[in-house]
Amino acid sequence: MTTSSEPAEPTTDSADSNPLRPVSPPSSEARTQAAQRQRLLTKPAGSLGRLEGLGDWVSACQDRCPPAPLTRPRVVVFAGDHGISAHGVSAYPAAVTGQMVANFIRGGAAVNALADAVGASVRVVDIAVDGDTDPSVSTHKVRQSSGSIDREDALSQDEVLAAIDAGRAIADEEVDGGADLLIAGDMGIGNTTPATALVAALTDTEPVAAVGRGTGVDDAGWIRKTAAIRDAMRRARPVVKDPVALLRVAGGADIAAMAGFLAQAAHRRTPVVLDGLVVTAAALVAEESARGAREWWIAGHRSTEPAHSIALRHLRMEPLLELDMRLGEGSGALVALHLVHSAIATLSGMSTFDDAGVSTDTPALSTD
């Protein structure tokens, strides 16, 4: 692993071994059929607003119109620590990551409560927690904590590929297990620092315009975080055009695994609701290589982190909700899942004008 604060050297074999590849789009035929059906339902055209486009998207992803109700939406929370958390960029100690993993397993976190409310189930995976976790969640563990990206690479070449492969394998496990919609969540103290570094590097944004408060750092913490991201971006500059190398240098095992997970979900033709900054940063990197994957994703919400808005704009995605959320865990995506259920219900459950015997004739104007 490179441990110098100097700019990272490109790794020549990463492009040849790139596990992220372009993705075929959802069904345009089903999307067209859904849009046509929307115009036949007992409502003024367009009166359900963005719910109509959301229903069309689900139809396209399922390749059927009307779309089927979701029976097994799944949240996978990717947990991992980051060496940068030891340098004053977070309001919480790194030990909280492992403690929260135990809380997820017990069902006591926000993600568990929100998932219960929308009929989803939760899985947590330890990708790089700095310590031991329950064996039931550590099968795909790559390492203990990723490197401190302001002064060293987050991962080795073997580790970044292992992390991406872990994410792809997790997506396969979920789809093979019957998941019909996926949500990636994140848990890792300090993880908004590498996420912001990735977004700023890929969008050529100055750190001061991208850095937010994360878990609630004070002004001194924000200054330290901004400086760390500036240094990480300088180290990442030589590899910014290589998504896998960028994850190796300035990302982390959990973010790399999420990138693999999001790309593989698209390859498996399974819709995804994106959550906040950390997940969307992984999506931004994934889309750089797995071109077309974004067609299988929708943005659940817009968080208060400035880098999240920057990433969404770069992906040309308009979020469904804006509730000033910044928790992570998949929480915002789960709140947005209510809207996905509603979009499916209206497109599949409403009667057409003909079925209901409702007239569509325009009243004649009186000539008196």
Q: DSSP secondary structure string, 70-117?
A: PS-EEEEEEEE-BGGGGGS-SSS-THHHHHHHHHHHHT-SHHHHHHHH
pLDDT at 17: 44
Query: Which percentage of the chain shows pLDDT scores above 70?
Result: 93
Mean pLDDT of 359-368: 69
pLDDT at 214: 76
* C-alpha dihedral sign at 22, 149, 309, 325: positive
Tokens representing 333? 């995506």
Q: How confident is the model at residue 361 (pLDDT cuts 50, 70, 90)?
A: confident
CB neighbours of residue 168 within 10 Å: 22
Q: How confident is the model at residue 76 (pLDDT cuts 50, 70, 90)?
A: very high
Out of 40-54, 213-227, 324-338, pick the least confident.
213-227
pLDDT at 1 over 80: no
pLDDT at 368 over 90: no
pLDDT at 5 over 90: no
Residues taking part in catalysis = 329
pLDDT at 221 over 80: yes
SS3 state at 325: coil
Cβ–Cβ under 8 Å, residues 352 and 332: no
pLDDT at 10 over 70: no
Mean pLDDT of 239-246: 97
pLDDT at 366: 62
Cβ–Cβ under 8 Å, residues 269 and 296: yes
Mean pLDDT of 68-82: 98
Mean pLDDT of 191-207: 97
Mean pLDDT score across all residues of the chain: 93
Q: Could you tell me the domains of the chain?
A: 70-337 (3.40.50.10210)
More confident residue, 92 or 124: 124
Which helix (H) or strand (E) is 28 found in, with range?
helix 28-40
> pLDDT, tens digit, for every residue of 36-50?
999 999 999 999 999
Residue 354's Cβ-count burial label (10 Å; 0-12, 13-18, 19+) is exposed
Whole-number Å distance between alpha carbons of 56 and 64: 10
> pLDDT, tens digit, for every residue of 78-87?
999 999 999 8
Mean pLDDT of 184-188: 98
More confident residue, 213 or 130: 130
Quote the strand ranges of the chain, DSSP E. Answer: 73-80, 121-128, 181-187, 272-274, 297-299
* C-alpha dihedral sign at 107, 79, 305, 20: negative
CB neighbours of residue 236 within 10 Å: 28
SS3 state at 126: strand
> pLDDT, tens digit, for every residue of 131-163?
999 999 999 999 999 999 999 999 999 999 999
Whole-number Å distance between alpha carbons of 313 and 207: 17
Residue 301 DSSP one-character state? B
Cβ–Cβ under 8 Å, residues 315 and 295: no
Q: Mention every residue, 6+ apart, whose C-beta is less than 8 A from residue 228.
A: 84, 87, 89, 149, 150, 193
Mean pLDDT of 110-124: 98
pLDDT at 54 over 50: yes
CA distances in angstroms from 316 to 298, 306, 309, listed in the order given: 10, 16, 10
What's the N-to-C CA distance of the chain in angstroms?
Answer: 87
Cβ–Cβ under 8 Å, residues 238 and 9: yes
The number of residues in the chain equals 368
pLDDT at 336 over 70: yes
Mean pLDDT of 172-200: 97
Q: Which of 58, 77, 76 is nearest to 68 (CA)?
A: 58
Q: How confident is the model at residue 192 (pLDDT cuts 50, 70, 90)?
A: very high
pTM to 2 decimals? 0.93
CA distances in angstroms from 176 to 254, 265, 270, listed in the order given: 22, 11, 11
Query: Which percentage of the chain shows pLDDT scores above 90?
Result: 87
pLDDT at 359: 84
